[in-house]
Amino acid sequence: MNQVFELEGLVQTVAQPYREFLRVPAMSAGLYVLPPGATDRQTPHREDEIYYVALGRGKVQIGAGEQSVSQGSIVFVEAGCEHRFFDITEQLVLVVVFAPAETTP
């Protein structure tokens, strides 16, 4: 089941902020797109997750800390940890990987 995904094609198919594009038992992956000024309304997940900032610029809050992120940034968030993206100045295109596969609605 090896697959290759192209970022441009995935971005064009995101109708909502998040679109899953891969699911296997050990992990799932999706694309999360937040326009400038957007409010990130996500809640903590039951799974560990990694965000890769493919495009854009903003900030991420993880627990009590915050950090600027931009193209090329990689963010790890432990399962159950409060986190959100904010102060988005350029559309954020985030590749998100959950391990194991996401079960949080």
**What's the CATH architecture for 35-105?**
Sandwich (2.60)
DSSP β-bridge partners for residue 16: none
Cα(62)–Cα(59) distance, rounded to whole angstroms? 10
**What's the confidence (pLDDT) of residue 36?**
97
Across the range 5-17, mean pLDDT stands at 84
Do 21 and 32 contact (CB within 8 A), yes or no?
A: no
What are the two backbone dihedrals, phi and then psi, of residue 12, each rounded to the nearest 5 degrees? Answer: -70, -20
Q: Where are the domains of the chain?
A: 35-105
What confidence tens digit (pLDDT) does each residue in 62-90 have?
999 999 999 999 999 999 999 999 999 99
d(CA 44, CA 35): 21
pLDDT bracket for residue 14 (50, 70, 90): confident
